Amino acid sequence: MQEDILKLAYEVSRVTEEKVELIDSVMRQTNLLAINARIEAARAGASGAAFSVVAQEMGQVAIDISRISKELRGAVGANIDKLERAGAEMMTQFRGARFTDLAHNAVEIIDRNLYERSCDVRWWATDSAVVDVLERPGAQSVAYAAERLATILRSYTVYLDLWVADAQGKVVASGRPHAYPGVKGLDVSDTDWFRKAMRTATGEAFAVADIETNRALGGAAVATYATAIRQGATNEGQPIGVLGIFFDWRPQAEAVVTGVSLSEEERRTTRVMLLDARHRVIAASDGKGLLQEIYPLDTAGQGRGHYAANGVLTAFALTPGYETYQGLGWYGVIESRADYMAQTGRAA
């Protein structure tokens, strides 16, 4: 609707300019004819006096019509400019509001997905095989824990691996030892997710790390969730180790940012992103800047909204959280570099 209004405004402006130019051309010819007629009337002397008067009147009419044409061009041009500006502003507001909603939906989908990850880690940390490998360490309990973790991974394909680390931070069992042979025996005591998990107060708490690449998992980007494995698998039990689960971030996030409901034209001129709390690009529909680019997002202290600057429309929405998962301060962002004037048929 907004684009139709702008197209109509541009077409009215084009047609008006074209017709006024034709009028000006006709009046220039008329004025030239009037001048020639007065010259010929002067040569004819007294017999051409009456014709001279007519020629003079024709010249005056041409001047009057040219003046009216000029006034018409100015009046129409001024109002068309106002209509164009109003239409462009209306389009910006409409698209900005729509893109803001889409940005909100994108980050909300991720929140819902990651809420499930927080539930998974707290549930699996109470699995008897996971607890036994730390309470009764030995070759048999390690093999059973690895088998149990592998079974979970076959059902939950969004994970790259699951690790059990003892209280000193040594990985004692994992779900994919053949795919990632360097994991068993790895020291993770200096990682944030391990330290935070060991400090959790109860079995209801969990730790989560920023999206990062994990060298032990082939350099894949992962979202890491962890919680303490507690003595006796009780909610208040003493932490005896940590369960870390590694969500395969890239394909899941890519599905979200490329799955936003946009037209084909919009897809060519927009970039859909997920940013972490530092405004670092953690997912992007164009696949660029991942875990490297810091996006210059200007929220002006708002949780959601949109703004236009330097020919770019940026819409954003802060993570709303989901259920008991409060989110990590992430943003959904849609950047549109569409040239609205070009889209509606007028050169910028």
User: Is the residue at 241 inside a domain?
Assistant: yes
Give domain status of residue 201, yes or no.
Answer: yes
Residue 186 belongs to a domain: yes
If asked whether residues 190 and 71 sit together in one domain, one would say: no
- 12 assigned to some structural domain: yes
* Same domain for 132 and 53: no
Residues 78 and 131 grouped into a single domain: no
Shared domain check, 125 and 71:
no
In a domain, 160, yes or no: yes
Instruction: Provide the β-strand partners of residue 164.
Output: 173, 243
Same domain, 7 and 70: yes
Chosen domain end from 227, 252, 277? 252
Nearest to 156 by CA among 182, 198, 123: 123
Task: Verify that 154 and 78 share a domain, yes or no.
Answer: no
Residues 136 and 232 in one domain: yes
Residues 68 and 159 in one domain: no
Q: Which of 252, 279, 303 is the last residue of a domain?
A: 252
CATH code of the domain containing 197: 3.30.450.20
Are 37 and 142 in the same domain?
A: no
Pairs from 42-46 (Cβ < 8 Å, separation ≥ 24):
none
Which among 172, 170, 224 has a CA at the least distance from the CA of 193?
A: 224
> Helices marked H in 156-271 — which ranges?
192-198, 249-258, 264-269
**What is the distance between the alpha carbons of residues 239 and 194, in angstroms, rounded to a whole number?**
11
Is 224 part of any domain? yes
Tens of pLDDT, residue by residue, the chain (348 residues): 555 655 666 666 677 767 767 776 766 777 676 677 667 667 766 665 666 666 666 667 667 777 777 777 776 666 667 766 666 677 778 889 999 999 999 999 998 888 899 999 999 999 999 999 999 999 999 999 999 999 999 999 999 999 999 999 999 999 999 999 999 999 999 999 999 999 999 999 999 998 999 999 999 999 999 999 999 999 999 999 999 999 999 999 999 999 999 989 889 999 999 999 999 999 999 999 999 999 999 999 999 999 998 889 999 999 987 777 777 899 999 999 865 434 434 433
| Segments forming the whole domain that contains residue 153 | 116-252
Residue 309 lies in a domain: no
The CATH number covering residue 68 comes to 1.10.287.950
Query: Could you report the per-residue pLDDT of 230-289, keeping only the tens digit for each?
Result: 999 999 999 999 999 999 999 999 999 999 999 898 899 999 999 999 999 999 999 999
22 part of a folded domain: yes
Number of domains, the chain: 2
pTM: 0.75
- The last residue of a domain, from among 252, 284, 311: 252
Q: Domain check: are 126 and 225 in the same one?
A: yes
* Type of residue found at 71: E
DSSP element (H, E) containing 165: strand 159-166
Residues 50 and 158 in one domain: no
